[in-house]
Amino acid sequence: MSFHDEPNPNGAVKVSAYGNNGPMTEVMHYKINGQTIYGTIDINLNSPTYGQEIKVEAKQNGPFSKRTEVPPNSELGQAIAADVNSTRQTAYINEMSYIGGKAEKAGFGTVHDLALEESGMKSFANGDKPYESELPAVYFETEEIKKEENDGDGNIEPAVVQKDRTNMMKNETLRYPIDAQYTEANGQDHIFIEQFAFVAPQRGFSGQSAKENSEKGALRETVTGGLRRGSNIVDPDTRKTDPKGRVLLPMPNKLLASNGVSWGEGRANAVEAGAFFAANNAIGGLLTGGKNIGDVLKDATTGGLGLLGDVRGELKKNPQSETGAILSATLSKLALSKAGINVDPAQFITRSTGKAINPNLELLFNGPKLRTFTFGFQFAPNDADEAIVVRKIQRFFKQGMLPQRTDGGGKNSAIFLGSPNVFRIRYRSGRQRIRSLNMFKVCALTAIEFDYAPDNVYQAYDDASALSQPVRTSMALSFTELTPILEQDYSDLDKSESIRDLSATALPGPTVFEDDQGNVPNMTEDDVGF
């Protein structure tokens, strides 16, 4: 079993009581003198302060104000330490019971007890002694900006919006609710959305000269092998991605996924089919080098005359032949069209014979369809910190879907617009993809809608950062995949750049993949796939 490799100040490796990838702290809530108190408990099994409150906070000036640390010598701090009504003690015993249960489930029950003994907190956790611990000292920071802390796997815990922030997209991780246990062991199911700078799939083709394309065989390869495409998020030169951040949100209430392909009616009467195949065969001789253009034109002429001759011969043998009627009608239409008269020969044949030309009607495959997904989310921040994160999440999508002015024509160039960023979506449990739900290819965010009064009544509260914050907000996101789903996306995973994009790392640097089997996502035979 592996753990976080971030060391303590004393050099010991941090190990969560909750197991692999678990948090290092837990927060308990209780009320003192009518105020909600937030006590942060150390649950790092290797910490000398395991089971102790390392931070005590309270909200100031209103229900949605920011939490601040409580000084031990303040009136509130002294009231908390005294705990006249045993509210704090009850909350602590219940919280330590919960932590002990989680540790037992993770296989750390014995280690949990030993860590409590070493920190001197076991008797308090068991309720054998009154919990009258002094509050930790408060160290006031001189800096106005707090740095964001990385949890070791690219998931950055939400932080307060910086006062001197720029308007550039930041490669940060945001989650709502901010205290949701998404990435911990046995964490709750959630939707994980990453944002990347878009990379053109045929980048470089249009910038090459005809000579360069000829020398490289680009034209020949495209005509004979089809249009090749590269990655939509990995730079072909540096083999790096340009991540713009990621968001973790609760599972939407509607999880719709539909796959579709396009089929359409195909019609061709006997004369049309015969003429096409004759012309196709003649052109085929030209492409294979067996004939020149003159031979092809000759074949077309003689072929047409031969067809007329064959039909004439058949009519002499069988004057009632239906082939002659179809050919005559087709040639009549051609002749009349030269004079600007358009007619439908089929209807006149039906008028005169009572028969309809067999159109050889079939349902034929036209091509794949691009899938579209719509997700709805509800936001109701509990405090000022969570409201900040909600606003950052909303901006993450609003700003990311917009086109960008390019600098190829100089400062403030308006000749071209760069493509918006693109998004990679996964349903996850903990840090693993949920295999019973559909996968997504890289998507474009095509539409976004906010409702700041979802209950048909605008309600807001005072917010120190935003002046006024809506109590509830709904957000609807519409995504469309950049490429269609093909059968090979299930069977030949390693042959598709669009599939390899699903495993490219979200961190700057050489592309790294989730497994070592062909650089593609893991997909078992019972995986629902796309």
Cα 393 to chain centroid, rounded: 14
- With a pLDDT cut of 90, the percent of the chain lying above it is 24
C-alpha Rg value of the chain to the nearest Å: 35
pLDDT, tens only, 364-421:
888 889 999 999 999 999 988 899 999 999 999 999 999 987 765 555 556 788 899 9
pLDDT at 515 over 60: no
The model's pTM is 0.59
Biggest CA-to-CA distance, the chain: 118
Distance CA 325, CA 320 (A): 9
Q: Where residue 524 falls among pLDDT bands split at 50, 70, 90?
A: confident
- pLDDT for 102 beyond 80: yes
The most confident of 45-54, 59-68, 156-165, 229-238, by mean pLDDT: 45-54
| Measured distance CA(242)–CA(404) in Å, rounded | 15
Whether the Cβ atoms of residue 168 and residue 201 lie closer than 8 Å to each other: no
- The H or E element that residue 336 is part of is helix 322-338
- What does the angle CA 501 – CA 505 – CA 509 come to, to the nearest 5 degrees? 115
CA distance 338 to 467: 74
Q: For position 421, what pLDDT does the model report?
A: 95
What DSSP string runs through 30-60? EEETTEEEEEEEE-BTT-TTTTSEEEEEEE-
Does residue 56 have a pLDDT over 60? yes
Distance CA 69, CA 135 (A): 10
Closest among 251, 105, 244 to 182, alpha carbons compared: 251
Q: Are 396 and 195 in contact (CB under 8 A)?
A: yes
Q: From edge to edge, which strands make up the β-sheet containing 67-69?
A: 25-32, 35-42, 53-59, 67-69
- Please check the confidence at residue 58 and state whether its pLDDT lies above 70: yes
DSSP notation for 173-214: EEESSTT---SSTTPPEEEEEEEE----TTTTSTTS-HHHHH
The 8-class DSSP code of residue 521 comes to -
Query: Are 137 and 81 a contacting pair, CB within 8 Å?
Result: no
Orientation of helix 345-353 relative to helix 322-338, angle to 10°: 140
- Give how far the C-alpha of residue 129 lies from the chain's centroid of Cα atoms, to the nearest Å: 51
Per the rule left: phi > 0, alpha: psi between -120 and 50, beta: everything else, 401 is: alpha
Polymer length of the chain: 530
Listed by start position, the domains of the chain span: 25-125, 173-198+233-261+369-500, 268-360
DSSP letter for 515, please: -
Beta pairing partners, 194: 246, 424
Which residue(s) pair with 36 in the sheet?
31
What angle do the packed helices 87-105 and 109-119 form, to 10 degrees? 140
Query: How far is Cα 224 from Cα 253, in angstroms, rounded to an integer?
Result: 47
**Distance between CA 118 and CA 110 in Å, rounded?**
13
List the one residue out of 164, 210, 184 whose CA is nearest residue 24.
184
Tens digit of pLDDT for each residue in 316-368?
A: 555 555 666 666 666 666 666 666 777 676 777 777 667 777 778 889 888 88
Give the other-Cβ count within 10 Å of 368's Cβ. 14
* Tens-digit pLDDT profile for residues 433-482: 888 999 999 999 999 999 999 989 999 988 888 889 999 999 999 999 99
pLDDT digits (tens, 9 = 90+) for 131-170: 877 777 654 443 333 343 344 444 434 434 344 445 667 7
Token pair belonging to 471: 């109590």
Helices 293-317 and 322-338: crossing angle in degrees, nearest 10, is 130
In three-state secondary structure terms, 93 is: helix
pLDDT band at 299 (very low <50, low <70, confident <90, very high): low
Give the model confidence (pLDDT) of 174-201 as tens digits: 999 998 888 887 888 999 999 999 988 8
Only one residue has tokens 């104000």, namely: 65
Pick the closest to residue 507 from 199, 193, 153, 235 (CA basis).
Answer: 153
Of residues 290 and 257, more confidently modeled: 257
Tell me how far apart the alpha carbons of residues 467 and 461 are, in angstroms, rounded to a whole number. 8
**How high is the mean pLDDT of the chain?**
76
